[in-house]
Amino acid sequence: MQKRTLGKSGLEVSALGFGCMGISFGYGPAASREEGIAIIRAAVDGGVTLFDTAEAYGPFTNEELVGEALGPVRDRVVIATKFGFKFEGGKSAGLDSRPAHIRDVADASLKRLKTDRIDLFYQHRVDPNVPIEDVAGAVKDLIREGKVKHFGLSEAGVQTIRRAHAVQPVTALQSEYSLWWREPEQEPLPALEELGIGFVPFSPLGKGFLTGKIDDKTTFDSTDFRNVVPRFTPENRAANLAFVEWLKTFAERKKATPAQIALAWLLAQKPWIVPIPGTTKRHRLEENLGAAAIPLSADDLREIDRAASQIEVHGARYPEHLQKMVGR
């Protein structure tokens, strides 16, 4: 597995990371503890060194699983987790990025992850009630104490990124980015390049849609987040299949799968982009990791861009209440 450096920070990770959320949360019933540990360790064996979790995934259970799975190889991997929510009765109860809360979350995450440092600590969503300078200052203190190594932001807007970066250099921004959601190209990506900040795209396979395994007849488990995503209504899925059909044809020509082309396309955009696809299936993990070895020529990239620009994507990527929390 090739390595990449997230911006100017010097944080070196595998070209593809691993998003751990879906093992415990968001995409139907949680995998068993044994299955979760097995897939994370298989990713380590495949050369992955960046593992992404958050206290919100579960909540709390995903961090515990990641800590247990990575304990034996802790010094070979980079663990990213997140702060910024509060929880009541095991459910999210809104945002909280007050400095005292950030410190409490860091201490609790360290215990669950069974480690003495968090390699990359993201603010999960921007809290409009707490100045970002205070947030960055709190993380700066944790870095000074050795509890945290690097500071990250998730789904933040450009002005917030700049203000945070002036207090404590931001190592990475994590936001959704894929062939199916290209809005980051308009504002965040040029700013990240200017500031020397890495980019970690989540949902690089469009929440599974770009694998080509989902159509308008697919049904999701009642606990699956995609049931409330406008882009995943049966009508929108039917409309969105046109691009996936094109992607399948292109992938066949390259002797690859649609998922591999989608990931290879992301890797070809910038050398400081590190996508974090997640899966609970061993064969999907191997398929995803294979994307790092697929070269796309300048002509290939132009052809993909041309096809993508001609096909309108139907449906918003978040329900309205979640959409309000991004880009602030």
- Quickly count: other Cβ atoms within 10 Å of residue 187's Cβ: 14
Catalytic residue from among 27, 57, 122, 177: 57
First to last CA, the chain: 35
Of 304, 127, 115, 135, nearest to 210 by C-alpha is: 304
Amino acid 219 reads: T
According to DSSP, the residues that pair with 82 across neighbouring strands are 122
Q: Strands 3-6 and 11-14: what pairing?
A: antiparallel
Take residue 267 and report the two structure tokens written for it: 């890797």
- Which tokens go with 68? 């247990």
Q: Which residue has the tokens 């990124």?
A: 161
The SS3 call for residue 246 is helix
d(CA 199, CA 202): 10
Q: In the chain, where does DSSP find H-type helix?
A: 21-24, 33-45, 61-70, 99-112, 132-144, 158-167, 188-195, 234-253, 258-269, 282-290, 298-310, 320-323
Backbone dihedral region for residue 103 (phi beyond 0: left; psi -120 to 50: alpha; all else: beta): alpha
User: What CA–CA distance (Å, rounded) separates 172 from 154?
Assistant: 8
DSSP run (H or E) holding 119? strand 118-123
Distance, in Å, from the CA atom of 241 to the CA atom of 41, rounded to the nearest integer, reads: 34
Query: Among this protein's residues, is 122 annotated catalytic?
Result: no
Give the active site residues.
57
